[in-house]
């Protein structure tokens, strides 16, 4: 898991793919963190991407680095609305608190991937699979 987290943090933004009906939707994300042995991501609960993940939690996240290695991470999004996870997110990335708060009525939806499988590959045929 740590290798996957490092790859994501070092190579942002990374991209989250979801589905709306039968149409794939991809958007950049920049927030991830480790909490209690899981990698968490965040999106606004007011955004279409949140509704897409509620309707169909199967997602894939991808990014690449300057060495032309790439990461694909897939699993089912599981949202966690506990106060402890929200507090940790605001500590990890303090500016999120100005974007998501009671005053503006916007809430940050934090999720991890259940049955996560990561693939790290390169142009030379290198391949590694990591399950967590």
Q: What is the pLDDT of residues 77-97, one digit of tens each?
A: 999 999 999 999 999 999 999
For residue 91, what pLDDT is reported? Answer: 97
Q: What tokens appear for 82 in the block?
A: 């506990």
In the chain, alpha helices (H): 2-10, 48-55, 83-92, 96-99
C-beta separation of 31 from 93 below 8 A = yes
Q: Which whole number is the average pLDDT over 90-115?
A: 95
* DSSP string across 31-66: -EEEETTEEEEEEETTSHHHHHHHH--EEEEEEE-T
| Cα gap 97→37, rounded to integer Å | 23
Q: Quick one: pLDDT at residue 73?
A: 98
* pLDDT tens column, 39-68: 999 999 999 999 999 999 999 999 999 999
Q: Distance (Å, rounded) from C-alpha 56 to C-alpha 95?
A: 29
Expressed as residue numbers, the domain containing 64 is: 2-131
Q: Identify the CATH number of the domain in which residue 85 sits.
A: 2.30.110.10
Give the pLDDT band of residue 5 (cuts 50, 70, 90): very high
Domain count for the chain: 1
């Amino acid at each position: 898991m740590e290798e996957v987290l490092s790859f994501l943090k070092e190579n942002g933004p990374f991209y989250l793919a979801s589905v709306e009906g039968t149409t794939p939707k991809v958007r950049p994300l920049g927030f991830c963190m480790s909490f209690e042995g899981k990698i968490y991501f965040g999106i606004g609960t007011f955004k279409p991407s949140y509704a897409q993940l509620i309707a169909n939690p199967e997602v894939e996240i991808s990014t690449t680095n300057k060495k032309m290695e790439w990461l694909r991470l897939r699993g089912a999004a599981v949202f966690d609305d506990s106060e402890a996870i929200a507090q940790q997110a605001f500590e990890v990335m303090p500016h999120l608190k100005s974007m998501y708060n009671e005053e503006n009525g916007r809430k940050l939806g934090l999720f991890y991937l259940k049955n996560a499988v990561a693939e790290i590959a390169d142009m030379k045929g290198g391949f590694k699979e990591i399950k967590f």
